[in-house]
Chain A
Amino acid sequence: MLRILAAERLKMKRTWLPVLVLFGPTGILLSMMVDFGLRRDFLLQQPLDSWSILVKEVSALLPLTLLLGSTLLASLMVGAEHQASSWKHLLTLPLSRFRIYLGKGIQMTGWLLMAGILMVPVFAFLWIWFEMGKEVPWGSFLKGGLYPVLAVLPVAMLQLWLSVVIRNQALPVFIGVVGSLFNKLLPAWMPWAYPGNSIPVQIAWEDNNPAVWVPAGVGVGILLLILGALHFSRREVATE
């Protein structure tokens, strides 16, 4: 399994993937700089603590960014295999197909977690720059970054499977984008709605409940990864 992950890492050399992972948190940072820069006093006068105000503002963008990011991540990682027509090579190696697929899912989760962790300095920068309080709540920052990431896993694993099954990446990307854009309109049990309902503060909209949707995200994510891997190990490689 470690060998598969080591190989996966090398495959992503010189691709846009690390840029993409940096791009999400950076984009959020810049938008928030504008947001708080223009109306810091208005925002901070709300009858809430500073952390709740900050995370609420950020959650206007973070779930959407993660949903779109997962879609692109999956397409980028798997598209490289389609483009290299390397399935037929990979699958003639003495490796378990189940693990090859698992390797993709684990690597994808790794990149998403990295994006989540990168949110910690983003939160910290905004907190200090806009003087939101004396104590810096690092623990809350970590939750604020990681909860939505854990909640996005089902969509990420779904996109992974779609990108593997559908050779032309335009279709999975289209499905992912549509799901992401309408995430707020979907019922709470739909995976696209999980990240937006995993904000770690006791406020905001009624469906927000990280205690439910974070574990649900992890559970459904693992389930979808395993189902995808099972399907992959039974699939025939006839054309690529």
Chain B
Amino acid sequence: MSETLVQTVHLTRRYGSQAVVDGLNLKVKRGEVYGFLGPNGAGKTTTIRMLLGLIRPTSGEIEMFGQPLEKNRKQILRRVGALVESPSYYGHLTGRENLEVTRRLLGVPKQRIDEVLERVRLRQAADKKVKQYSLGMKQRLGIALALLGEPDLLILDEPTNGLDPAGIQEIREFIVELPRRQDVSVLVSSHLLSEVEQMASQVGIIRQGKLIFQGPITELRKQSLPRVRFGVGDPVEAQRALREQGWQVSREEGDLWIEGLNREATSRVVESLVMDRFSVYRVEEVKPTLEEIFLGLTGKGESL
């Protein structure tokens, strides 16, 4: 079994009477890219700020690398690199100088700067002032800052926020490579499932401060039943006929849908349609996309 890097027990944070983070039990293991997923305002950033010691939990415990965060903050943070929301940078300094500020604070060797610049492909822009950087470059600089101290765990809060598709793709590929190439584990938050799907091996889904799913992404897929679509002539009549036989049939855009049919049941539905002289021109199994599962879990009304 691999080492547990982050473990929270009943982690809770209240603002007034409202619990923004409510009894969270997160578990991130070494070698994972852990996707921390939830709609905006679900408590992701609050959780991440607690993991980094920026704010204190109202109750509950945080253990990182097997040590309580409250007691061993400095030792733990030495092994963590973080990018919280928008990147932090001094606009009047160059990219290299920005890295040098943090390098001095961390006391790591000077050559690390060139290494991380290379990693995020900012070498050419290193001596330009950061205020002239594009958003994508600033974000990459933020990741370079997080990597400077050679962390074992990288915590990235919405790292692709505000980037263009090419920038998103770039960051995503970069993150996927981290555990493989550098043995850096990653906790990355996002409000987009499609994004996490392409990066993460494990997901935690948070909604209104509560963790509603945690596990491998394949597990998430299994949770939902496929639906079968029937393309028939005269769908109104066909729906009525099937309902009379006890099938739960819904009608959407001129097609009939039945949930959770196995092969045998499917053939019985087709048989009864044909016997009733409805023309059947299409039978199709439709698996919900992860996005739909996610929406189902997090509630459709919420913004994504």
Contacts and interface: CB of A to CB of B under 8 A. Distances in A.
A11 B105 contact: no
- Kindly list the 7 A-B residue pairs having the minimum CB-CB distance in the complex, ordered from nearest: A89-B88, A86-B88, A94-B78, A7-B104, A94-B77, A237-B54, A236-B55
B97 A10 contact: yes
B287 interface: no
Given A11-B101, A94-B75, A84 B55 contact: no
Contacts of B92: 13-15, 80
B101 A95 contact: no
Interface in A63-110: 80, 83-96
A3 interface: yes
Interface in B81-131: 82, 84-86, 88-93, 97, 100-102, 104-107
A35 B162 CA distance: 58
B145 interface: yes
A83 B102 CA distance: 17
Contacts of A86: 88-90
Contacts of B145: 89
Contact of B80 (A84, A92, A236): A92
B102 A3 contact: no
B56 interface: yes
Interface residues of B, number: 33
A221 B54 CA distance: 28
Contact of B91 (A6, A84, A92, A96): A84
A185 interface: no
B53 interface: yes
Nearest to A10: B101
Given A7-B104, A94-B77, A84 B52 contact: no
A85 B142 CA distance: 12
6 contacts: A6-B104, A84-B90, A89-B88, A92-B80, A93-B105, A93-B106
A92 B101 contact: no
Interface of B: 49, 52-56, 73-78, 80, 82, 84-86, 88-93, 97, 100-102, 104-107, 145, 149
Contacts of A89: 82, 84, 88, 102, 145
A7 B52 contact: no
Nearest to B129: A14
Contacts of A92: 52-54, 77, 80, 82, 84
Nearest to A86: B88
A238 interface: yes
Interface in A1-28: 3-4, 6-7, 10-11, 13-15
Contacts of A90: 88, 105
Contact of A7 (B88, B101, B149): B101
B77 A93 contact: yes
Interface centre among A11, A86, A94 (most CB of B within 10 A): A94
Given A10-B104, A84-B90, A88-B84, A238 B54 contact: yes
